[in-house]
A and B are shown apart, each in its own frame.
Chain A
Amino acid sequence: MTLSADAVSLALGGRPVLREVSLAIQPARVTAILGANGAGKSSLLRVLAGLVTPESGQVSLGGTDMSTVSPKNRAQRIGYLAQEATPAWNITAHELVRLGRLPHLPAFGALSQADMSAVEAALLATDMTALADREIDAMSGGERARAKFARVLAGEPDWILADEPLANLDPPHQRDMLALLKASANDGKGIVVVLHQINAALRVADDIILMRKGTILANGPVEEVLTAENLHACFGMRFKVISDGSISAIVPA
């Protein structure tokens, strides 16, 4: 089951941000979207998540046209981790993670046993069980990031689309977040993640989508895409790709 875009175009406020983008993303892999600021990374992610309808072209989820999938069904299958979503209210980690079950709940009534065990499993997977009753305002940045990721996991989606999940995290917490993404992919979920740091993508991704000015510059396995030529074309600056059999680091040249 793939998540794919076929000649998708999108404009925001009259400015084109995606131009005829076509791609297919595979499940059980981490796909990182890289590109300069304003290249259309977040827009592509939002289109793939079904949050915006493209002006032309079609997004498909497992072969089904996304515009025909009901919002509830879509929400059950695609988890979206927004960039810098500051919670409006000071709720506990447990309450936050329970929000992930919203797509599975009937119109009225409490959370079922299955809902609660999904919540507990998500807290466990993110190492948040001990902090379940801690309020968001009392959490560190790293704890908050884990709680938000647990919220996505609790929905038990087939796909997780994360928009810059490393923003405002220090290196150890970045490492933890990347490990969570990788573990979810190993569980069979398709992970699509917008990243700013090339080396983070190098560590976590199986596939890379390089974007430039609303188009896809290169798309495929890490080793094929992250070449010095592609990176130069993408970011407009020279990089040195350090390789010892496989790529180990990418540094500005």
Chain B
Amino acid sequence: MKMRWLLALMLGVVTAFFVSVMAGKSFIAPSQWFEGGTTGLILWELRLPRALLGASIGAVLGLSGAVLQGYLRNPLADPTVVGVSSSAALGGVIALFFGGAALPLIVFLSAMAGALMSILLLIALGGRAGGPLGFILAGMVLSTLAGSLTAFLISIAPNPYATSEIVTWLMGALTDRGWPDVAVGLPFMICGGLILLTTGRALDGLILGHDTALSLGINPAQLRWTIAIGIGLSVGASVAVTGVVGFVGLIVPHVVRPWVGQRPSATLIPSALAGALLLLTADSVVRVLPGVAEVRLGVVMAVLGTPFFFHLLRQIKARAL
């Protein structure tokens, strides 16, 4: 039963991947894939890395959402809540502020440094208080701080061009991402994702609360570290490559729960797959939409996500509140 959903999701991701490779302002049919020339160039140098990034970013966002909702025992948690996304964004913005727009690697490294800082602060601030509450409060402090510093930098940007660079980057997009982005981002996302996948059992142990988890032999401090590092690496890298793409981590676990059940460990892999599916689909839609400029992926996700979120909120209200 659950295996069937997993297979269906995998099939969906593979299909969405191929659609994503073909879709765009110019449609590239499978017969043209190995023709070479401009079409081949578009396919191999632009579409393929973009689809790879879309799939992996969607996967880590969905996975981190599922892990965080399990850890915080709260169905409304997602990676933006713990401040990693906004701290990575701040790192990227700092690089752009100082004219790093022409050097994508610098922007990437700066964003990863932001994510790393947020992990250390998250553990230092949240560690004393222990439990999920300390974690979430530390995350809120971080994301508020990073958000206001980002706003500050935008407001004092040296010229309108820099402002536009920063704002555009912040909105999150897979436009013009290529193999160099895959090369720097993918290893971090894979590492972080694998680390997050190890948390399943401990998250299950937390279902009955902190004391029961302790009595089952789970080490809360180790779990907190594992989650912070896993999310820092994977979500940090995703933000560093594309900017902030919201809502995926929040929505996806809710979508898979009716099918695979609510046990946290059972939602991890399905959430990763569904996240990949969602982002690949959204990115394909973004590209085939008519218009001169491409709509930003982050904006599309927010527009799609908000009504969906309200729908979910109405459904879960009875239990969560």
Contact = CB atoms under 8 A, between A and B. Distances in A.
Given A102-B204, A102-B218, A85 B211 contact: yes
Contacts of B262: 89-91
Interface in A23-77: 46, 49-51, 70-72, 74-76
A92 interface: yes
A76 B215 CA distance: 9
B62 to A, nearest CB: 17
Contacts of A89: 70, 73, 207, 262-264
Given A102-B205, A105-B201, A91 B217 contact: no
A182 B263 CA distance: 31
A180 interface: no
Contacts of A78: 215
B15 interface: no
A82 B213 CA distance: 10
A100 B213 CA distance: 10
A165 interface: no
The winner among B70, B73, B201, B217 for most chain A CB atoms within 10 A is B217
Interface string A101-145: 011010100000000000000000000000000000100000000
A167 interface: no
Interface string B54-95: 000000000000000010010000000000000000000000
Contact of A95 (B198, B209, B217, B263): B263
Given A89-B264, A90-B319, A137-B319, A51 B207 contact: no
Contacts of A82: 208-209, 211-212, 215
B33 to A, nearest CB: 38
**Contact residues of A: prevailing secondary structure:** mixed
Interface residues of A, number: 34
Contacts of B264: 89
B305 to A, nearest CB: 22
B312 interface: no
A105 B262 CA distance: 20
**Contact residues of B: prevailing secondary structure:** helix
Contacts, number: 77
Contact of A80 (B198, B201, B211): B211
A89 B69 CA distance: 10
Contacts of B219: 71
Contacts of A107: 198, 201
A104 to B, nearest CB: 10
B214 interface: yes
A161 B187 CA distance: 46
B235 interface: no
Contacts of A46: 211
B286 interface: no
A74 B217 contact: yes
B35 to A, nearest CB: 45
A88 B73 contact: yes
A61 to B, nearest CB: 13
B215 A79 contact: yes
B261 A51 contact: no
The 10 A-B pairs at the shortest CB distance, nearest first, are namely A75-B217, A80-B215, A88-B73, A89-B262, A85-B208, A71-B217, A72-B217, A85-B209, A102-B216, A82-B211
Interface of A: 46, 49-51, 70-72, 74-76, 78-80, 82, 85-92, 95-96, 99-100, 102-103, 105, 107, 137, 148, 151, 155
Interface of B: 70, 73, 198, 201, 204-209, 211-212, 214-219, 261-264, 319
